[in-house]
A and B are shown apart, each in its own frame.
Chain A
């Protein structure tokens, strides 16, 4: 069975500091991996996704993530945090043909002034 684990339910960083949100997955099939952001009382916005090919994926708002098969990880990073990055972030997994996403439990990012 596939699963997604997000390490750290809450992460705080100072404005301008590096953002690192951790995601590990477990799967017996090649994964498709996603990062979504959710602002309060809103739906999910796709930040980036990995399917095949280049393992370093660039997304919107300066975020990027690297797929590391040997570590079964897909951590999300941003070099310099902005106040507007404060939100909840979800890592999600799908196999290529799957109809649904399996989500992690989320990481709440707080950006301190």
Chain B
């Protein structure tokens, strides 16, 4: 079975720009959760998508948005990038809506300059 894949692996953007990060979930998984990991910190929950609908959100502003597609892959969009958005963005897929069975991808390293 394939694992969770994220693209791109690295990305450099300018402050004020918009960015889209992509995640392909593990085969058979219908839920995708996104996390932001700033340098030297633990990951923080951004939001979760279950069957194409947002199913919970952490303490992130509305300029962080997402989508989930019928094949359960997902996108994370960030508008009006700020320097503090520089981080590793991790995607995790799971079979149900709980965090019990997460499989994490390798992440996308976003640098905002």
Contacts and interface: CB of A to CB of B under 8 A. Distances in A.
Interface of A: 4, 32, 36, 41-46, 49, 51, 90, 92, 94, 96-106
Contacts of A98: 98-99
Top-4 shortest CB links A-B: A103-B42, A100-B45, A43-B106, A44-B104
Contact of A100 (B40, B56, B109): B56
B2 interface: no
Interface string B11-35: 0000000000000000000000100
Contact of A97 (B4, B33, B98, B107): B98
Nearest to A100: B45
Contact of B42 (A45, A49, A105): A105
Interface of B: 4, 6, 33, 40-45, 48, 55-56, 58, 90, 92, 97-100, 102, 104-107, 109
Given A44-B90, A103-B44, 6 more contacts: A42-B106, A43-B105, A49-B100, A98-B98, A100-B99, A101-B102
B42 A96 contact: no
A7 to B, nearest CB: 14
Nearest to B55: A99
A51 B100 contact: yes
A42 B105 CA distance: 8
